[in-house]
Amino acid sequence: MPPERVEITDLIIDYDPETLARKPVRKDDVLAAMAERGMGRRAARIVAGLPDAGGVLDEAQLDALFVRIHAELQRLNEEFRQGERLLMLLEPLLRVTSGQRVVDVGCGLGYVVRWLAAHRQSARGTTRAWGDGVELLGCDYNGALVTEAQRLAEAEALDCGFRVANAFRLREQPAVFTSSGVIHHFRGDALAAVFRAQAESGAVACIHFDIKPSWVAPVGAYVFHEARMRERVSRHDGVLSAVRAHPAATLLQAARAGAPEMVFAMFDGAVGLLPILRVMHAVVGVRREHAAAFRAALGPLGARLSELS
Question: Rule CB under 8 A: which residues touch another protein?
Answer: 51, 58, 60-61, 63-65, 67-68, 70-72, 74-75, 79-81, 84, 109, 111, 114-115, 118, 148-149, 152, 155-156, 158, 220, 223-224, 226-230, 276-279
Helix axes 143-155, 59-79, angle to 10 degrees: 50
Nearest distance, CB of residue 138 and another protein, angstroms: 13
Question: Is residue 78 within a helix (H) or strand (E), and if so which, with residue range?
Answer: helix 59-79
Which residue number, 150 or 198, has a Cβ lying nearer to another protein?
A: 150
Q: Cβ atoms within 10 A of the Cβ of 164, count?
A: 16
- From the list 148, 180, 207, 177, the residue with the least C-alpha distance to 82 is 180
Helices (H), 161-247: 189-200, 217-228, 232-244
Nearest distance, CB of residue 128 and another protein, angstroms: 14
Nearest distance, CB of residue 84 and another protein, angstroms: 8
Nearest distance, CB of residue 88 and another protein, angstroms: 9
The Cα–Cα gap between 113 and 278 comes to: 22
Which residue number, 202 or 275, has a Cβ lying nearer to another protein?
A: 275
Write the CB contacts of 94 (distance below 8 Å, at least 6 apart in sequence): 102, 130, 131, 134, 175, 176
Nearest distance, CB of residue 110 and another protein, angstroms: 9
First to last CA, the chain: 34
Q: What is the DSSP string of 6-69?
A: --HHHHS--B-TTT--B---BHHHHHHHHHHTT-HHHHHHHHHTS-EETTEE-HHHHHHHHHHH
Which residue number, 196 or 225, has a Cβ lying nearer to another protein?
A: 225
Which residue number, 200 or 226, has a Cβ lying nearer to another protein?
A: 226
Which residue number, 102 or 204, has a Cβ lying nearer to another protein?
A: 102
Nearest distance, CB of residue 49 and another protein, angstroms: 13
Which residue number, 255 or 298, has a Cβ lying nearer to another protein?
A: 298
Which residue number, 109 or 283, has a Cβ lying nearer to another protein?
A: 109
Residue type, 16: D
Nearest distance, CB of residue 308 and another protein, angstroms: 22
Which residue number, 72 or 195, has a Cβ lying nearer to another protein?
A: 72
Which residue number, 107 or 259, has a Cβ lying nearer to another protein?
A: 107
* Secondary structure letter of residue 172 according to DSSP: S
Helix axes 27-36, 40-48, angle to 10 degrees: 170
Residue type, 243: V
Nearest distance, CB of residue 208 and another protein, angstroms: 19
The Cα–Cα gap between 176 and 261 comes to: 15
Residue type, 302: G
Nearest distance, CB of residue 139 and another protein, angstroms: 17
CA 165 to each of CA 89, 154, 260: distance values in angstroms, whole numbers, following the listed order: 25, 19, 25
